[in-house]
Amino acid sequence: MDVLSNEPQTILVVDDDESIRRMLKTGIQMSGFQCYVAEGGSSALKVLDQHSVAVVVADIKMPDMNGLELGRIIKSRYEADLIIMTGYVEDFNYEDIVQQGASDFIQKPVRIAEFIARLKRVLSERVSKTDRLKALADLKLNLGKLQRAMEGIVQAISVAVEMRDPYTAGHQQRVADLAAVVAMEMGLSADDIYGLRMASVIHDLGKITVPAGILAKPGRLSELEYELIKNHVRAGYDILKQIEFPWPLANIILQHHERMDGSGYPQGLKNGEIMMQARILAVADVFETIASHRPYRPSLGLQRAVDELVNNKGIQFDDQVVEVFLKLVSENRFPEFEN
């Protein structure tokens, strides 16, 4: 039995020399492995179709198909490792053989003790590789579960915010959709786009600290009321900063009311001091707010939203973000905002 598992590993020896096949099969079976033999590439493929083979040991020079050709087929169709044997060492070198997919290269005449040692090394590495792949698969599964859990938390937060401010129901999700399309058009990485979408879905989180009467007030806000509204970005940041998300959600939310000329809040950042994700969110937020219907007022119209971006391009809003946004509008990529 193989010391590496409870089940005997299966080896396939492929060589047109019967004496070599017989010698290797005997040594392999005496070492506790199961062994099949084949006299050429075609018969070897039949064995591979019928049995689960861990390692194929193949001569290079055989009449119907050489060992390297057989190896390429094995790599494309099966899970077996490949050990190449040859007596023509001057025609081949180890690096070339391994580069073509072989796990090891043995010179003929074969010494059975060395051969078994090489075979066990290949099997050991095979088990290690299998363990690594399983660990990687488990890690991906756990990361997927964690990501879904985080998405669920973010969605729950979004719902809680909209319960406090029902007059803007759906606003955060629509902003997230807009921001993601713009970010994709601008060539941001998939990870940055995902983080931007997550931040956008809860960018008004801090409004849960604002009195409901102010959130629902349809008329003009007093200076004090406006200051309370402005504090929502800092409040959202303070709530999220202790959570170690894989993306800078807290900072994106903190900066989404900053403006390129430094006139924004809460830090008065300008130009390159503002994260690109926050610049995109700022444009999407303003556009959606103007172009969408609210229970206390109708939509101010797509043209009004476009004019706001054009008039403040390079002043309040990032030039590049606005240009991309206007391009997408002209291509009717946001039909839900059409008049």
Q: Is the pLDDT of residue 213 over 80?
A: no
CA neighbor of 211 nearest in space, from 225, 198, 221: 225
Q: Which domains does the chain have, with CATH numbers?
A: 10-136 (3.40.50.2300), 165-337 (1.10.3210.10)
Task: State the residue for tokens 């959570």.
Answer: 243
Q: Which two tokens stand for residue 1?
A: 């039995």
CA distance 63 to 41: 9
pLDDT of residue 156 exceeding 80, the answer is: no
Query: Residue 60 has what pLDDT?
Result: 85
Q: What angle do CA 134, 72, 6 make, to 5 degrees?
A: 40
- SS3 call for 290: helix
The sign of the dihedral angle between the CA atoms of 311, 328, 322, 293 is positive
pLDDT score for 46: 93
Per DSSP, 270 falls in state: -
Integer Cα distance of 175 and 285 in angstroms: 6
Question: Among 87-101, 116-130, 150-164, which is the least confidently predicted range?
Answer: 87-101
Q: Between these two residues, 18 and 99, which has the higher pLDDT value?
A: 18
Lowest mean pLDDT among 36-40, 73-77, 93-97, 271-275: 93-97
For range 232-249, the mean pLDDT: 90
CA geometry: angle at 178 spanning 208 and 262, to 5°?
A: 65
Instruction: Give the mean pLDDT of 143-157.
Output: 73
Q: Which two tokens stand for residue 120?
A: 């066990």
The reported pTM is: 0.60
Q: What's the pLDDT band for 339 if we cut at 50, 70, 90? A: low
**Long-range contacts formed by 8-11: CB under 8 A, 24+ apart:** 8/32, 8/33, 8/34, 9/33, 9/34, 9/54, 9/55, 9/123, 10/34, 10/35, 10/36, 10/51, 10/52, 10/53, 10/54, 11/35, 11/36, 11/53, 11/54, 11/55, 11/56, 11/57, 11/119
